Structure 1
Amino acid sequence: MRQEGPTRNDKLIIMYKEAKKSEKDPKKSFENEGVTAKKVLPLITRDVNES
């Protein structure tokens, strides 16, 4: 989602959580209490000149 303001580097945010075997809907797993882990990966690009 684009937000107002100066341009910044893009990043990919991955959120994950251990689910119980009885949980079949992933959305419900995140609604329940517990620890949700998060990893942030910067998306770095560079110009490549192919000759």
Structure 2
Amino acid sequence: MNTNFSPKELTEAVRDIFSGTLGYEIRGKISSEIMEIIQKKLSNLWRKN
């Protein structure tokens, strides 16, 4: 198995993964989790001020 990927090959592989339905689920889950984290951090900042 070839483990020496060029940045271009890695980018294409990641794009292939994220263009699949699994990718949509992963992206949706990650983005919603990130949004929750950001909202928590922002609300903590507002409470401090």
Q: What TM-score do the two structures reach when normalised by structure 2? A: 0.31
Which structure exhibits the higher relative contact order, with contacts defined as CA atoms closer than 8 Å and separated by 6 or more residues? 1
Write 1 or 2 for the structure with the bigger share of strand. 1
Q: What TM-score do the two structures reach when normalised by structure 1? A: 0.31
Write 1 or 2 for the structure with the bigger share of helix. 2
